[in-house]
Structure formats: structure tokens, C-alpha cells
Amino acid sequence: MKCCASWDRQQNIPNTHHSNIEIIGDPMAIQINQEAELCERLKTLGYACRNRIRMYGEEFDLTSNPIPDENGFAVEAISRKSGNSRKLRIPLSILQMIAKDLAASTSRSAA
């Protein structure tokens, strides 16, 4: 089973160190912060390493936490039926629900 780690998107490898440095006002830092918040919300919904989920009519053991990809977010998983490793895309409806919730909480805190 893979180690639960964040992913270095540029090199597509696990990133086992975490940085608490945040650059205020930098658009890239803001985007990374939003992605990190979305990943944390996905984990609370069960898309976290070592959890078991049922998706696409099949059961999977998750081997990674959510990772951003070019089309949204995904998790690495192993099929309980076949034993094959797969990258599962998290459904867009779930991402939209979380984004809507984050936007609402941001607007409440700004008011």
C-alpha cells in the first residue's frame, strides 16, 4: 500500500514535507490554498488514504489522499474486485458542492 502523502504536481511524485509558508496576495498561493482547502474537505467526506469507498459500482481501497489533476481532483485506489491500481476521478458534483460551500463560508467571513 502506498504512503499517504501530498503530491508534488510538477514532478508527479509524493511530497512528504509540508510547508507552512503562505505568500499573501500571490494568485498562485491563493489557488494552492483553495486546492488545499478543497482537499481537506474531500478527506472529511471519506476520500482519504486508507478508506474504503464504493464508486462506479465497485469497491476500492484508497491509497492516496485527494490530488489535483488537470480535470479536477482524483485519488489513487486499488479495486477490491480485481486488485488493480487505478486513479479515480472525484465526481464533479461533489467538487461543485464543496466549492459552493467554501464560497458561502468565505462570503460570510468577509461580511
pLDDT range class, residue 111, cuts 50, 70, 90? low
Residue 17 lies in a domain: no
Torsion sign over Cα 78, 82, 86, 90: negative
Whether 95 is in a domain gets the answer yes
Domain that holds residue 47: 26-110
HSE-CB at 29 with a 13 A cutoff on CA atoms is: 8
This model's pTM is above 0.85: no
Please check whether residue 97 lies inside any domain of the structure. Answer: yes
- Domain membership of residue 33 (yes or no) is yes
Burial tier of 96 (Cβ tally within 10 Å: 0-12, 13-18, 19+): exposed
Residue-wise pLDDT tens digits, 61-105: 999 999 998 889 999 999 999 999 999 999 999 999 998 998 888
Q: Is residue 37 part of a domain?
A: yes
Total domains present in the chain: 1
In a domain, 5, yes or no: no
Task: Decide if 6 is inside a domain.
Answer: no
In a domain, 10, yes or no: no
